[in-house]
Structure 1
Amino acid sequence: MCDLLENVPIHWGPRFDCGSAAATFTRVDPSTIEFEAPAHMALVMFTPQPGRIAALNSDRRTNFMAPVGCLEIVPATADFYASWSTPKENILVALRPRRLTALAQAEFGRAECELQPPRSGFIDRKALLIAEMIRDELMSSETVSPIYLDSLLTVFSVHLLRHYSSVAGQPAPPRRGGLSARSWRDVSDFIDANLMSDLRIETLAKIAELSPSHFLRAFRQTVGQPPHRYILELRTKKAEQLILSTDHSLVEIATACGFSSHSHLSSTMKRLRHTSPNELRRDPEKQ
């Protein structure tokens, strides 16, 4: 299976890849790039690009102004060329075709869909807002949250489907209410049993028998917070219990609770509990 961001140099910026989707925040000096897209790709600009030159499946290169919030879409297998003469910052999202197809089926009941790129220089403010949240998480001083980034990529993908694909304009099924009692029980039981695993929105949505975007809305309505925050709170509580009731090392506890490292556990407890694992073990009254 190919790397979704294989055509983007690693030194251009931090990246996240969950297998079916990926994102990178790039900051790069004037340069040129040319490739055949290994997946569906979408770029959202954070800095203006006067005199940007691009070509999509054509030898004809267009010179245009790419403002902040400019959205470019490159469908999978398309030939793409771009060059820019001023420093550039942007979010680049890559989606495997099967992920977008699965979303189209879940959201719109359409088994097939094609992306339809907007005109050169087109501004999409909602895409910019989602891209800014992706950037902020990728640039976090703490370890990034995979399930949070997975949530943002799901929202971004559904936005592309609704506005830049062959299913655009198709009515989605009405979405009302939170999770049913059965769905909430099944989802919460699965989360409890898999806290140490790398949980994904697509997996939880399937358990609830909902589309990913409907699941995100229904989960928040039922629980009062998004999945990634709920899961982080559960992991922190479990870590506290193990710190107080066992003599396991903090590294072992971090792994058992789904944290990527001891430092990730420590930074999370500092932020949520205003204490550290070591301090809690020395002084249980800090709980």
Structure 2
Amino acid sequence: MVLVMLTPQPGREVSLNSDRRSEFLAPVGAVEIIPSNAELFARWKTAKENLLLALAPEQLSRLAGLEFETEDFEFRPLAPGHVDEKALLLANLVRDEFQGGEPLNHLYLDSLLTVFSTYLLRNYSTLQDRPVPLSRGGLSPKAWRDVQDYIRANIGEQLSVERLALIASLSPSHFLRAFRQTVGQSPHRYLLGTRIELAEQLVMATDMPLARIASLTGFASHSHMTASMRRHKFTTPSALRRTRVVR
């Protein structure tokens, strides 16, 4: 597990695999990494806000293999109150996605967790001293075509960074950078635009119920599709269909 403090915690008490407890001030941005199967005791004296990520060991091992060509690693212990500003930034982005009041953008959340997990492996594990492969350049023309084809063929499904990266024959973190360099936007924004475009086509070319179109194009609901189209296209599916009838 990974814990990032979003508010300060004075007088925080922690012990890990020991009866000896440390009491300290945990500032905003303090990070704690708790290995799997570790025995943790924690106590705090004031109300707090933090982000707790439970990262499955098998997923971390697989990511390590894709990013560092080895699944063998251990996390290194951190000093109490260790602050990491980048971890805080990523934690706030994850928190904001969960508290945004809209259906979760699964590919965006997966992208954040991929970046976060890779960052932790690169900075706080025994992989820290491992050379980082150079990852310059965008997607090759073939990789871009293959990724586009896969997205369109699976537009109604939850897509993952790992799967898209595999299609492009890249590590997940390299894929995210290469995709942005090639397309000019992140994968989750491209996916949303593609879903809206296909939904518009189905609204105008078929008599399919709008709720069915939303499901086929990967939106969480009819209202989610409507809100997305209004925000990005300044119209709604119902308004589009009425223009077709008028014609």
Q: Is the 8 A contact 1:142 1:267 kept in 2?
A: no
CA distance in 2, matches of 1:207, 1:113: 26
DSSP-derived class of the 1:113 partner: coil
TM-score by length of 1: 0.83
CA distance in 2, matches of 1:233, 1:89: 34
User: Which residue matches 1:260?
Assistant: 220
User: Which residue matches 2:39?
Assistant: 79
Q: Deviations for 1:129-164, whole angstroms, at most 9, x for unmatched residues?
A: 111111111111221100000000000001101111
CA distance in 2, matches of 1:221, 1:249: 37
Please report how far the alpha carbon of residue 83 of structure 1 lies from its aligned counterpart in structure 2 after TM superposition: 1.3
Among 141, 146, 163, the alignment partner of 2:123 is: 163
Structure 2: gaps (5+ residues): none
RMSD: 1.2
CA distance in 2, matches of 1:80, 1:207: 40
Q: Deviations for 1:3-62, whole angstroms, at most 9, x for unmatched residues?
A: xxxxxxxxxxxxxxxxxxxxxxxxxxxxxxxxxxxxxx1011110000011111112121
State whether structure 2 residue 92 is matched by structure 1 residue 132.
yes
User: Which residue matches 1:90?
Assistant: 50
CA distance in 2, matches of 1:199, 1:61: 43
Q: Deviations for 1:155-174, whole angstroms, at most 9, x for unmatched residues?
A: 00011011110101211111
Q: Deviations for 1:159-203, whole angstroms, at most 9, x for unmatched residues?
A: 101111010121111111001111111111111100001100011
Count of residue correspondences: 245
Please report how far the alpha carbon of residue 111 of structure 1 lies from its aligned counterpart in structure 2 after TM superposition: 2.6
Please report how far the alpha carbon of residue 248 of structure 1 lies from its aligned counterpart in structure 2 after TM superposition: 1.1
CA distance in 1, matches of 2:158, 2:130: 33
**Which stretches of structure 1, 4 residues or more, deviate above 4 A after TM superposition?**
none
Percent of matched pairs sharing the same residue: 54
Please report how far the alpha carbon of residue 284 of structure 1 lies from its aligned counterpart in structure 2 after TM superposition: 4.8
Q: How does 1:28-39 map to 2 (within 5 A)?
A: none
Q: Which has more helix, going by share of residues? A: 2
More divergent stretch after superposition (253-262 vs 274-283): 274-283
User: Which residue matches 2:207?
Assistant: 247
Structure 1: gaps (5+ residues): 1-40
More divergent stretch after superposition (112-121 vs 142-151): 112-121
User: Which residue matches 1:37?
Assistant: none
Among 79, 82, 94, the alignment partner of 1:119 is: 79
TM-score by length of 2: 0.96
CA distance in 2, matches of 1:89, 1:277: 39
User: Which residue matches 2:114?
Assistant: 154
DSSP-derived class of the 2:23 partner: strand
Equivalent residue letter for 2:15: A
Q: Is the 8 A contact 1:161 1:167 kept in 2?
A: yes
CA distance in 1, matches of 2:101, 2:66: 35
Equivalent residue letter for 2:146: D
DSSP-derived class of the 2:49 partner: strand
Among 45, 61, 84, the alignment partner of 1:101 is: 61
